[in-house]
Structure 1
């Protein structure tokens, strides 16, 4: 049945973290919007906090999936990030993060992005450690878990395709005629 390697369990709620920060002119890029790199840094921090809170261990970022910037963030807006564990493996966790920005004068809130960070729990020597088994307490948590499984499967399939794809074949080179590229080999 369940091949669970540890007997320590935690609820998704034990991983929840919320941070809010007012966006300052020093966070802006050359077009006057908040720099995407700054938002990514904050997302990495909240992913670390959520994973470490859940696992009780130091955690490192293994990968970042799907960071689509849906709406720009303006100077003066209050950015709020919410994170929680969506999936656990043996030592890895997928942390879901939702980013919103609120115009504090009008109260209008916009969804800016959602992203998924894979974090790995480590011990003091840098070796992977087993994380607690995840308790799913709502159908929303079940949905997020299954969506994580789908993302993992798609990533494995993409990696398998990239490993096996022969970009030097005549077929692959001919296919480039369909794109805005010029071959000069």
Structure 2
């Protein structure tokens, strides 16, 4: 009963944040000994899904990945940490921010290597989108990410609209 009430009234980003740790093994790397971007993308998607599922207590699917920015290479043998947090919730979807850092275990140096914003959609038992509880930011940092997520959503929707118009025009030309 208490959990149901908490879901209806919302959750703090702290309650659903996820931290994943991976070690870079040879199968994760390319010919120059750095992690394939696709491996990082996979890890980001998993971290975002864990976070979103914790938030809504439902299965989720990835709707989009925005602004996956690779900032520095990650090398063989390094330790990768992915921290994910719900930034904003709309009706049936949420934006999850994922920060990727890598640590050289021999020197102890840590590097911010990638950042991504992933939109996850909650599913009901029939596999259809369903409502998500709101996110209730508490700290100044969470409130800042909450506001920035609104602006990113506006940009995503504008880009989607432009792409649909472009597709419609190109379909008319054929």
TM-score, normalization by structure 2: 0.88
For the aligned residues, what is the CA RMSD? 1.7
Secondary structure at the aligned position of 2:135 is classed as strand
1:65-124 per-residue CA deviation (whole Å, 9 max, x = no partner) reads 011111010001000000010000111010000000000010111111110000000012
C-alpha separation in 1, matches of 2:131 and 2:161:
27
Aligned to 1:119: 120
In the TM superposition, residue 12 of structure 1 has moved relative to its aligned partner by 0.8
Of 26-35 and 85-94, the range deviating more from structure 2: 26-35
C-alpha separation in 1, matches of 2:130 and 2:154:
23
In the TM superposition, residue 10 of structure 1 has moved relative to its aligned partner by 0.9
Aligned to 2:105: 104
In the TM superposition, residue 32 of structure 1 has moved relative to its aligned partner by 1.8
Secondary structure at the aligned position of 2:108 is classed as coil
Higher helix share: 2
**1:152 matched to 2:138:** no
TM-score, normalization by structure 1: 0.83
Secondary structure at the aligned position of 1:67 is classed as strand
Secondary structure at the aligned position of 1:137 is classed as coil
In the TM superposition, residue 158 of structure 1 has moved relative to its aligned partner by 2.2
Map of 1:32-43 to 2, 5 A cutoff? 32-43=33-44
Map of 1:12-23 to 2, 5 A cutoff? 12-23=13-24
Aligned to 1:3: none
Gaps of 5+ in 1: 1-5, 168-185
C-alpha separation in 2, matches of 1:26 and 1:159:
35
**1:84 matched to 2:85:** yes
Runs of 4 or more consecutive aligned structure 1 residues displaced over 6 Å after TM superposition: none
Q: How many residues align?
A: 163
C-alpha separation in 2, matches of 1:113 and 1:121:
25
Aligned to 1:143: 144
**1:46 matched to 2:56:** no
C-alpha separation in 1, matches of 2:17 and 2:8:
21
Map of 1:70-81 to 2, 5 A cutoff? 70-81=71-82
In the TM superposition, residue 128 of structure 1 has moved relative to its aligned partner by 1.3
C-alpha separation in 2, matches of 1:124 and 1:96:
26
